[in-house]
């Protein structure tokens, strides 16, 4: 598996809508990470909203990132019309 992120959009409740290069759109819940090390900074919703696509994955300005495999495997598919 080699999922690559094409787009990311922050949602409410520390969730992300992620579009992969396969055109599949999935929702990732970041709340389990918020109490772990550098991810604590993401509790600030304004900072959380600064997420960007970076080299096929996602990243925040201070370097927090997640593996694209994790983003794919631990997310839920969103049905599109």
Fold of 5-77: NE0471 N-terminal domain-like (3.30.2020)
Strand partners, 4: none
- What does the chain come to in residues? 81
What residues does each domain of the chain span?
Answer: 5-77
Q: What pLDDT score does 53 carry?
A: 98
R_g (Cα) of the chain, nearest Å? 12
- Residue ranges with strand state E in the chain: 5-10, 15-20, 25-29, 52-54, 57-59, 65-66, 75-77
Give the model confidence (pLDDT) of 27-70 as tens digits. 999 999 999 999 999 999 999 999 999 999 999 999 999 999 99
Q: What pLDDT score does 2 carry?
A: 84
């Amino acid at each position: 598996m080699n999922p690559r992120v094409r787009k990311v959009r922050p949602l409410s409740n520390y969730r992300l809508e992620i579009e992969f290069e396969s055109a599949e759109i999935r929702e990732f819940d970041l709340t389990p990470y918020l109490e772990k090390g550098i991810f604590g900074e993401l509790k600030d919703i304004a900072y959380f909203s600064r997420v960007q696509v970076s080299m096929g994955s996602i990243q925040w300005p201070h370097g927090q990132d997640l593996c694209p495999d994790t983003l794919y495997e631990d997310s839920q598919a969103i049905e599109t019309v």
